[in-house]
Every structure is written in structure tokens, then in C-alpha cells.
Amino acid sequence: MSFLSFHHGTRLSESNETPVIVQIGQTAVVCLLVTAPDADAAKFPLNEPVLLPGDISLAADLGDAGTGKDAVDDVFDQVATYTIVIRIDEGVDEAATLSNFVGDATQMTGVHALKKCMPKLGLQPRLIAAPGFTSGDGVTANPVVAELIGVLDELEVVAFVDGPDTNDADALAYRAQINSQRVYVVDPKVQVWDTATNAYVARPASARFAGVQARVDTGLGFWNSLSNKPVTGIGGVSRVISYGIQSNYLNENGIGTIVNHGSGPVTWGNRAATDDDLWKFLSVRRTADFINEAIKAAYLEFVDKPFSAANVKLLIESGNAAMRKFKAAGAIIGGKVWLDETKNLPEQLAAGQVTLSMDFEPPAPMEDIELIAHRNIEYYLELTRDAVSQAA
């Protein structure tokens, strides 16, 4: 409120001393790194993010060659969502193409082009896939995945990568070369009808899993697991995975797969490719990322405001209001924000540094539901009583 030397009458001003609104950013944003040598270079320049805002017809300019058109189709078979395409140059051979996908951090090419999405499009890519270029033999690490992990950590997003699609042992060997809370391994490939050959062909499943997660985010909420959800647009898988011992073996070791309980193929597996048990569930990792990001973004409102009891109070109230909102939605089990005096010494406060403490707990997926069946011979007594009653 401005101060006047004199005023006769009533006046009103709106106070801005209210808690800020904490909002989650767009979560169902898929980003595909693909090859498309016949693409319209003006519409899909190399190493530049291009947004398809829920309209698959825009992918026509990718051309039929390469992986681009198929990858977009894989996603849109699951849901029409924000999909970002980054076209990578196809090299003279497979090794050269992999090098192009690895890219150059200083030039922001290859996987590093993911960092251009937010400044250029205003959208953060959330669900990354590079189908056809993230698999491996289990002997040597895939260079694209190795380079991608650092980018995922920087952007706080996740990626779906493809296993070798050979056998379980090779899949585990491939998974053993990855240790990241932000990488979800998919094995095997899926069978998709090819209209050019009039036959089913094997296609990497990573883009479809990204699409399934986008559909889950849109319909159920980002805190829900992508596991046990229908995979649409496929005729089956390239190698059958049996529900039970085989799927448990893969899932326990951080490999997502596809099973069929008799009503069509579904995704199966909650776990990321990490050895950190506290962060083994992909949905928990993503939920924590989104809440952390939302809180940080909302608190920018307070940066450089004067140090006052009112502003400190609003800092705490804003955070706790957000936690109540997230809990009511089901995104967290509980959470709170507080100011710990032991972390806020007078010297720190005088230097303009305020430290808030925060805790919350995302809901883990109910991965293991155990039923214990008992026999109860007392029911015979009920039967005989009913019979006697009816006879009378």
C-alpha cells in the first residue's frame, strides 16, 4: 500500500499477502529421438525439437524412411498427447548413427537436444524414447543410454529403453549395465502390422510404453503406475512372456514387459533400472520430481522480497497448502513444510538465506497383493441349521 500524507474518506487496496498457488506442470509430454532421412528439413530440422500438439497428421512430413513415423504412431496408438520429435541424422552405418544420437553437449545435438525443448517450446519433455537406438547385447553398454542418463538427471525426467529381445538372460545382462532411477527397460519387442508388407513386423516397444504412461497421466494422474495397463495397436509380442515366474523374474530385476491375462496385452512392471530400493518404483520417482519442481517454481514468487514475518509465514503456508492439495488428489500420502531453526542461524538469515524443510511420501504401487485362504468347517453348522429351518 502506498502512503499518502493526507486522505479524507475511505480507500481500499488488495493485499498480495496470500499464499502462492503451487501447480504441477504438464506431465504427459512425450519426446521421441528418431531418424527420418526423407523428412521435410524445413519442418523437422536436425537436432531441433518440433512439437506435434496432439495432431498425428503433422508427422506426415517425417516421411516413411527411418524410425520417426513409426515412433509417433506407436505413441498415438495409446493416446493423442503433446509429442515432441527430435530428428537425428542417419549416419553411414549403425555406429555413426549411434554417435549422432550420443551427440555433442557443447553443440546440444543428439540426446543433448532435449535441453532445447523448454526454452524453445515452453514444454519440458517428460517421457523420452529413442526406439531402435537404445538396445544392446548385454556385453557392452549402449552408448546412447549411457549418455542419456546424465541428461535425464539434469532435466529430472524419465526414459524408456529397449532390451535385446532375445531371451531373459540377455535382458538381465543388458539391465545390469544400467543403474538409474530414471530409466525403464522394456523387453521384448511388439508385433505391429506393416501395411507395406501386409504382415506383422517386430518393433521396439519403448515408444508405446511412453504413450501408455502419457495416457495414464492424462486419465488417472501422474502418480499412477503405467503397469497393468492395456497396450493398444499391437498383435502380440516377439517372444511370449508368461505371467508368473517368468514375468516376476524380469520385474524383480527392473525390466518391464508385456503379458496377457486372457483379455489382451498389458504392460507389466513398476520398477526402474536402479539398485536403490527406496526409488525403485518409476511412479514414485516421477511423483517426487513433479512435486519438487512445482514447489521450486512457486517459490520463485518470494525471491528478493523483503525478509519479514509475513513473508516467512506465507512461505510455510504456501507449501503446506500445496501438500494438502496433493494429498486430496491422491498424489501423496502426506506431506508438510516447516522452518527448522537449527538450519536458519542468524548469520544465514542476515545474509538473505532462508532454508525450508519439506517432506512428503508418494504412494507406492500395490505390487504384491497376498491372499490367505482358510477352510472353515463351521459353515456346515449354518448349512444344517438352514436345512432344519426349511424342513420345519
Do residues 214 and 65 share a domain?
yes
Inter-residue contact 30 to 75 (CB < 8 Å): yes
Does 19 reside within a domain? no
pLDDT higher than 50, residue 3: no
Q: What angle do CA 184, 84, 60 make, to 5 degrees?
A: 120
In a domain, 145, yes or no: yes
pLDDT of residue 391: 87
My answer on whether 263 and 347 are in the same domain is no
In this prediction the pTM is 0.92
pLDDT tens per residue, range 177-201: 999 999 999 999 999 999 999 999 9
Burial class (CB in 10 A: 0-12, 13-18, 19+), 346: exposed
Domain that holds residue 37: 29-285
Total domain count, the chain: 2
Beta bridge partners of 190: 203, 237
Q: Are 219 and 139 contained in the same domain? A: yes
Are both 62 and 167 inside the same structural domain?
yes
Which band of pLDDT confidence, cut at 50, 70 and 90, is reported for residue 24?
confident
Give me the pLDDT at residue 326, please.
94
pLDDT of residue 128: 98
Q: Is 337 found in the same domain as 253?
A: no
In this structure, are 245 and 154 located in the same domain? yes
Q: Is residue 374 part of a domain?
A: no
What CATH number did the domain enclosing 212 receive?
A: 3.40.50.11780
pLDDT tens profile 81-93: 999 999 999 999 9
The stretch 24-42 carries a mean pLDDT of 94
Would you place residue 371 in the very low, low, confident or very high pLDDT band (cuts 50, 70, 90)?
very high
Are 243 and 352 part of one and the same domain? no
Residue 17 belongs to a domain: no
The overall average pLDDT reported for the chain is: 94
Q: Is the pLDDT score of 17 beyond 60?
A: no
* Among 74-83, 103-112, 201-210, 309-318, the least confident range: 309-318
Q: Do residue 247 and residue 165 come from a single domain?
A: yes
Q: Does pLDDT of 31 surpass 80?
A: yes
Tell me: do 332 and 268 sit in the same domain.
no
